[in-house]
Structure 1
Amino acid sequence: MSLSTPRWWYDRERRHAPVTRMLLRPAGWLWAAVTARRIARTTPEAVGVPVISIGNLTVGGSGKTPVAREVLRLLRAAGIEAQALSRGYGGRLAGPVRVDPAVHSAADVGDEPLMLALDSPAWIARDRVAGARAAAAAGAEAVVLDDGHQNPALAKTLSLIIVDGETRDHEWPFGDGAVFPSGPMREPLQAGLARADAVVILLPADMAAADPELVATFGALPVFIARLQPAAAPPSGPLMGFAGIAKPWKVERALKAAGADLVEFAAFPDHAAFREAELRALTDRAAVFDARLITTEKDWSRLPPEWRERVISWPVTAVFDDEAGFTELLAAAVIPSPLAGEGMTAQRVG
């Protein structure tokens, strides 16, 4: 299922769609109640290796996957055999299956696991406990669980909440706090934060600092700042952009901020499966401006193989302001000892 994200979800002043908000509010209360009951009634299972959960409190668009990739990189750079685990949203395989980018497509395992598998061993499993056990049996010394904060089945050693820190244009990461479908929240803010160990605020490359009010939202939880940095500048010349992620408007903004000559931009629903007719229409529109097509790495992974040579992939990475302090946090979870967390600092703003 692809989801078109309503932009009014992120307007905490409730200036837009007031009637829709009101009509959807009871469905949000039901969603929150069902989520809370499921979490409360499930006993998490340990699998014998540390599990680092990369999650969020909203429906898509926070930047979990770039952070998960960076966590995997930091752990592996420290000599820890870290492997990724994902549900495999959008893929047909139930797993546990180790993802092989040379064999699997996004239709098999989902787009995010394909991205994770480019750098580290990655698994998909609808049953997260079975997936973690498969990774451990294959030699994983730590499992990095992508998008697992609302899944209570697997015991977590460290739970990180990723928050989209962009608060420009009157947008707020949690909107007015309403739960899906009347807002972007997967569960009420304080309920989700109560199970978190630390927060990562992810900023766009051109945003100097996190909003102090946003940082204060997390109280005593350690807060780290990371930034989405383009792996390279956009190519020169006219570009026609498109994206099928939770917040496609952020891709358009990021391309322009990076200096792209963006002549037009097309938004698709999150996890959209690009059809031949849609891609041909994009190509025809780009030809009007003598432009090349460009999209995110995540969207590029869902393109049919014959289209990948015709579309530019524009990857981004998560870079931590306090990489040393964040690595200490990871080490304290993966290698528990009286000294592992000594001197651990969080990047505080304001």
Structure 2
Amino acid sequence: MREPDFWKTPPDAPGWRARLLSPLGYLYAQATHRRVAQEPGHRARVPVICVGNINAGGTGKTPTTIALLQHLSAKGLNPHVVSRGYGGSVEGPLRVNEMQHRAAQTGDEPLLLAAFGPTWIAKDRAAGVRAAEADGADLILLDDGFQNPGVHKDISIVVVDAKRGFGNGLCIPAGPLREPVTAGMKRADLCLTIGNATAQDGFDATWGAQVTVPRMRGEVRPLQMGMDWTGTPYFAFAGIAHPEKLFMTLKGLGATIAGTKALDDHQPLTPALLARLEADAARLGAQLVTTEKDAVRLPPEFRAKVLTVPVRLEVEDWSSFDELLGRLTS
């Protein structure tokens, strides 16, 4: 079988396990290629901006979507978010109400996003987009869905964790990618790399040549709330793709970390699990602390026991995005 032209050799040689699994990764890449090659589905009457990734999760899409909501709202636009609602039980379309709904219904990310702007969940993304249009959205942010052809995208932003880059450059299960980098870049309009200066420089050295679209840089930083994080020991827990990010953020704030618990991404916070976390923190004389995304999964009666570390994405330069947006809205 002839290799499709999107399959390229990664810049760094993968380990033996990845090489062993690379035929399966090749098949995964082919399946993704066939899916995205389908004719695009619903074409909205308003611009659709997709916030997606090539890696499988953990790149910073949620902070990016929040930053976009704030950036677009400051321009006088009325953006709505449409999400699949991963982890939620509701099929939708449903407009999320952060005061009424629970993460078990909507998924944690939509519940968090709803605090920043109108957010819809729908297993059928096209149905969610139609609902947002009918509700008066003049622009739609598609949370994920870069590899899903169900909705036509006017702008596609690929979000990358600058420190991790594209891993070993191979597709699942041989590597972390949903599709080869070259294939994704052909459909992308912008690439946003998230990380500090050191991580950005490392990304430039390893992957910069493969980013063939305009690139933006940003860094997720904790909000300055005037709180003194020193002096009190903390027990930190997180059920995000990379829990260590919370632990490093706390250390950067000067916090004393008495204990940590890394949970699975989107892991349900059951009464038994919360009881264990509370007991572990009490044994260490520590205050429980977690991320915003985890906090929305906490039952209301437990939230007062847990501190939250809010973070926001700060983008260095919005000009590449604003130029593309101007072509759509002028």
TM-score under structure 1 normalisation? 0.85
Q: Is the 8 A contact 1:75 1:330 kept in 2?
A: no
Q: Is the 8 A contact 1:81 1:141 kept in 2?
A: yes
Residue in 2 aligned with 1:276?
271
C-alpha separation in 2, matches of 1:30 and 1:156: 26
Residue in 2 aligned with 1:65?
62
CA gap 1:269/1:208 in 2 versus in 1, 3 angstroms? closer
Residue in 1 aligned with 2:308?
313
Give the drift of 1:183.
1.4
- What secondary structure does 2:229 align onto? coil
Residue in 1 aligned with 2:173?
181
CA gap 1:93/1:306 in 2 versus in 1, 3 angstroms? same
**Aligned match for 1:127, one of 104, 124, 127:** 124
- What secondary structure does 2:37 align onto? helix
Letter in 2 for 1:199: C
Residue in 2 aligned with 1:332?
326
Residue in 2 aligned with 1:340?
none
Residue in 2 aligned with 1:224?
216
For structure 2, the 5+ residue unaligned runs are 1-10
Letter in 1 for 2:171: V
CA gap 1:330/1:231 in 2 versus in 1, 3 angstroms? farther
- In the TM superposition, 1:177-326 aligns within 5 A as 177-204=169-196, 207=198, 209-211=200-202, 212-214=204-206, 216-232=208-224, 235-236=229-230, 237-323=232-318, 325-326=319-320
What per-residue deviation string (whole Å, max 9, x for no partner) do you get for residues 92-136 of structure 1? 111111000111111111111111100100101111111111101
Residue in 1 aligned with 2:110?
113
- What secondary structure does 1:217 align onto? helix
What per-residue deviation string (whole Å, max 9, x for no partner) do you get for residues 136-184 of structure 1? 1100000011112111111111100111012xxxxx3211111112211
Give the drift of 1:317.
0.5
- What secondary structure does 2:195 align onto? strand
For structure 1, the 5+ residue unaligned runs are 1-10, 167-171, 337-350
Q: Is the 8 A contact 1:165 1:202 kept in 2?
A: yes
Q: Is the 8 A contact 1:178 1:188 kept in 2?
A: yes
Q: Is the 8 A contact 2:35 2:147 kept in 1?
A: no
Q: Is the 8 A contact 2:191 2:211 kept in 1?
A: no
- What secondary structure does 1:229 align onto? strand
C-alpha separation in 2, matches of 1:151 and 1:268: 28
Residue in 2 aligned with 1:87?
84
C-alpha separation in 2, matches of 1:12 and 1:234: 43
What is the root-mean-square deviation in Å for CA atoms of aligned residues? 2.0
C-alpha separation in 2, matches of 1:13 and 1:106: 41
Give the drift of 1:250.
2.1
Residue in 2 aligned with 1:143?
140
Letter in 2 for 1:262: I
Letter in 1 for 2:326: A
Q: Percent identity?
A: 40
CA gap 1:165/1:131 in 2 versus in 1, 3 angstroms? same
CA gap 1:68/1:262 in 2 versus in 1, 3 angstroms? same
C-alpha separation in 2, matches of 1:217 and 1:266: 38
C-alpha separation in 1, matches of 2:295 and 2:41: 35
C-alpha separation in 1, matches of 2:304 and 2:278: 13
TM-score under structure 2 normalisation? 0.90
C-alpha separation in 1, matches of 2:211 and 2:302: 47
Give the drift of 1:29.
2.2
CA gap 1:12/1:306 in 2 versus in 1, 3 angstroms? farther
Give the drift of 1:263.
1.6
Q: Does 2:97 match 1:97?
A: no
C-alpha separation in 2, matches of 1:55 and 1:38: 16
C-alpha separation in 2, matches of 1:12 and 1:264: 35
Q: Is the 8 A contact 2:85 2:110 kept in 1?
A: yes
- What secondary structure does 1:200 align onto? strand
Q: Is the 8 A contact 1:46 1:154 kept in 2?
A: yes
Give the drift of 1:244.
0.8
Letter in 1 for 2:205: E
What per-residue deviation string (whole Å, max 9, x for no partner) do you get for residues 282-315 of structure 1? 1111122211111110011111222111111111
C-alpha separation in 1, matches of 2:162 and 2:228: 23
Q: Is the 8 A contact 2:52 2:145 kept in 1?
A: yes
Q: Is the 8 A contact 1:274 1:302 kept in 2?
A: yes
Give the drift of 1:333.
4.8
